[in-house]
Structure formats: C-alpha cells, structure tokens
Amino acid sequence: MPLGDPGDPPRGPVAVIGDCTLDVTIAPSRPLRLAGDVPAAIRLGPGGQAANTAVRLARRGVPVRLVAAVAADATGRLLAEALSSEGVELARLPAARSAVVVALLDAAGERTMLSDRQTLDAATAGEALAGVRWVHCSGYALLDDAAADALADALARLPPDVRVSVAGGSLPREPALAGRFRRRLARAGVDLVVLSHDEAVALGADPANTDPARTAESLADLAAVVVVTAGLRGSAAAVGGRVLVEPATATAAPTLDATGAGDGYAAALVAELMPATWPPDAAALQAAMRSGSALGALVARVVGAQARVAGEGDRG
C-alpha cells in the first residue's frame, strides 16, 4: 500500500545517497559493427541509482532528500529540474561536472553501462543527513575508494534509531574490492542490504547456486536483513536466522529495459519497511518484498530508469 494515506504515523524524510545522472539509453536495431554506423533508438532522461530510488520513493508519498554530486552545468540544471518536478529535495554536493551514464540495451532488455560518475564529498554528505529517519545508500558510493571510508564513518555517526540500507553497485568480482565493501558495511552499521545475484556472488556467494534463498542465507552476516534479488527466480531475505522467499511477479509483458528495476525494488522495500519495527517481522518483510517485486517488474517493462509505471500518477 502506498505511504502517505490518512492515518499513517508521522514520518521524517528518507535520505538517499549516491549518483544522479543523465542517462543516454541506446537500443541498436542490429549488432554493432566496428567503425560502422548502426541505426538505434536513443533516449535521454534522468537516472542514477540513488536518484531512481529517490524518485520512486517520492511517487509512493515518502518525503525524500537526494544527496548527490550535481554540478551547476547544463546537465545539472536539467537533473535538478526533473527532481524538483517529482517533489524530491536535492542536497547538492560539489562536482566538477554532472554525471552521465550510457546504457546499451540488447534484444532482451539487459543493459551494459558506460559510466562517468562523480565522487561524493563525504563530509558534506554527512551534514545533509540531519533529521532523517532512514538513510538509503547506493552501493556505488561505498565502492568509490576516494570517499567510501569517510562516508561509512558518516553513516556510523547517525543516531541509533536511524535505519541504514545499502543496495546495488554492480560490484565486480574483485576479491580485494569486495573485502573493502564488506568492511564498509560493517563500519557503517548497515541494517539492510539488497543485492542482485551477481553482486552476491562478488561478495562470496557460490556462483553455481542460483537459489536466492540459499544465497541470502550464505550472506546473512552482512546485516540484520539481507535481501537477494534474482529476476525470474524471485527474491529471498535472511533475517533472524530465517529465510523468506518471494516469487517473481508474473507478467506477460516483455522486458524492455532492466535499467532501474532493482532501484524500484529497493524503493518499494524501504517504503513498506519504514513503519515496521526493527528488525521487521516475517509478515512485514514478506509484504515489503512482494511490493518490491511488483514495482521492479513494472519498471523493467518501460524504457527509461525513471519512466512512470502503472499506479504512479502525476504529482498534483
């Protein structure tokens, strides 16, 4: 159920930390040819893992603040205007230029990304977290060695009643980087971790195992709640020594663009867990996973990381 209905308990804002990008989405009409010219459908739109999550939260009625490096350039102005139109408060961190990501889509809607992200100013980011009830951090921010340790320290200084979640980051299979990421999760005192199957494998899960339940269970040491998403295999959560499984949302519509589907899952999950006790009981967590699965499936069936889906009405 969307938040913001009459009778809901008061909520402070959620702060989302991470990237806010201009996404260039390219769907070639045929395989690329080296030094050749291939017709393609090319779209520009706002994106970035943190911004996608913030926008989906705002559309569910959650007051949200995006903490991101956005420059005062033409791209930054476009991104700031898009966020404002969604009701997202932008806590703008300094940046030499605004970030841009190119996403190449294949025939199945899967994407390969080329990214020009910007490093967050961790000190300024920490200052932007005052007064929030929940902080959701993009995994990319905790993978950036230039600022991630300082950011983890800033998260660790939050009041104990502020929940901290981390999701995504396209973590590569580099053991040294995975070790640093694990240490930062522990250092930050993260309450909830959301990972794709590939990210879970990068953190040590068995690559031969495709069962999200077993994968989540194997990474239960990462946080009080660990959720693993696995596309058509559904998702699973490890919490309090138990494992909960949520089947994928069934739909006949084809996948058009997987960009932002995981961010939609994370946004719905956080929105539903905000009023829950912590750690959440099985019923609350199962319902949150179901909501995440439903939104993620819808997002994968539209082109553009922040394209509106059924149930997301226009503001006003």
Q: What does the DSSP assignment read for 101-115?
A: EEEEE-TTS-EEEEE
Nearest CA among 88, 194, 71 for reference residue 139: 194
Residues 66 and 54: beta-carbon distance below 8 Å: yes
pLDDT in tens, 266-312: 999 999 999 999 999 999 999 999 999 999 999 999 988 899 998 88
Q: Which helix (DSSP H) or strand (DSSP E) does residue 166 occupy?
A: strand 163-167
Residues 302 and 90: beta-carbon distance below 8 Å: no
For residues 139 and 82, give the distance between their C-alpha atoms in angstroms, rounded to a whole number: 23
Pairing of strands 64-69, 21-28: unpaired
Percentages helix, strand, coil for the chain, rounded to the nearest 5? 35, 25, 45
For residues 21 and 304, give the distance between their C-alpha atoms in angstroms, rounded to a whole number: 12
List of domains in the chain = 14-18+49-95+117-299 (3.40.1190.20)
Pairing of strands 21-28, 99-105: parallel
Residue at 300: amino acid letter: A
Q: pLDDT 10s per residue in the chain (316 long)?
A: 333 343 444 346 999 999 999 999 898 999 888 888 999 999 999 999 999 999 999 999 999 999 999 999 999 999 999 999 999 999 999 999 999 999 898 887 777 889 898 999 999 999 999 999 999 999 999 999 999 999 999 999 999 999 999 998 999 999 999 999 999 999 999 999 999 999 999 999 999 999 999 999 999 999 999 999 998 899 999 999 999 999 998 776 787 777 889 999 999 999 999 999 999 999 999 999 999 999 999 999 998 889 999 888 666 4
> What are the residues whose beta carbons fall under 8 Å from the beta carbon of 106, sequence distance 6 or more?
112
pLDDT in tens, 147-185: 999 999 999 999 999 999 999 899 999 999 999 999 999
